[in-house]
Amino acid sequence: MTSRTDQKEQTRQHILECAADLFRTQGVAGTSLTDIMTEAGLTHGGFYAHFKNKEDLLAHSYTAAMDSSREEWFEDIIEHEPEEALRLLINRYLSRDHRDNPDEGCPMPALLGELEKEGLCATEAEQALRTSIHRAKPSVAQARHLSPEAADAETVATFATMVGGMLLARSVADEDYSNYILKSCRAFLKKEIR
C-alpha cells in the first residue's frame, strides 16, 4: 500500500510543480487544467483525485512555489557577510536571467496581479510574503545598520522595489530598456545613485 500511496503523493507534487511553472509563464487564466495535466504527462480526468478544484490547486502551488523559490534564493546567500548577502540578493533578483525565466523565478511578480483579483489566495500570499521578509530581514538590518523596526520597513520596501522592478522589466518590449530598468533598480537598492 505504501508504494501506491507514495506514487500518488509523488504525482501530486509533480502536478503542483507543473502548475506553478505554467501559471508563472502563461498566467492562471491562461492555463487550463488540461494544460497542466498534459504537462505532467497525465490526462485531465485524474485531476480531481488530487485537488478539490482549480482554486485549491492555485493556492497550494503558489505556496509551494514561494517555498521552493525562497529556498533557492537564500540557500547560499546566508553563507555570506550581511553586506555581500544583500548585494547578492539584489543582483540575482533583478537579473536578466530571473527576468527571462519566470517559470522558475519568484512567483510574486508573475502571479500577484492575478491573485489579488477576487481575493484569491490572499491569506497564502500574505503568509508567504511575511516569511520571505522575515528571512531577508537580518541581512538588511546588519548591512544597513538599522534597528529591528527600521530594518523591517526597509526590507518590505526593498521587496517592493524588486517585485515592481521585475514587473516593469518584464512588461517592456525593448530589451535594452528592460535591462536599463533592472540596472536602475539595482543601483537604487544598493544606494549607488547620487
Which parts of this chain interact with a second copy (CB under 8 A)?
A: 25-30, 108-119, 122-123, 125-126, 129-130, 146, 150, 152-154, 156-165, 167-168, 170-174, 177, 180-181, 183-185, 187-189, 193-194
Nearer to DNA, 19 or 162 (CB): 19
Q: For the CB of residue 106, give the shortest distance to a second copy in the complex, in Å.
A: 11
Nearer to DNA, 49 or 193 (CB): 49
Nearer to a second copy, 16 or 185 (CB): 185
From the list 85, 95, 101, the residue with the least C-alpha distance to 155 is 85
Q: For the CB of residue 36, give the shortest distance to DNA in the complex, in Å.
A: 8
Mind giving me the DSSP string for 91-156? Answer: HHHTSHHHHH-GGGS-HHHHHHHHHHGGGTTHHHHHHHHHHHHHHHHHHHHHHHT--HHHHHHHHH
Among DNA, a second copy, none, what binds residue 45 when CB lies within 5 to 8 Å by partner kind?
Answer: DNA
- The count of other CB atoms within 10 Å of the CB of residue 82 is 16
As a whole number of Å, the CA-based R_g of the chain is 18
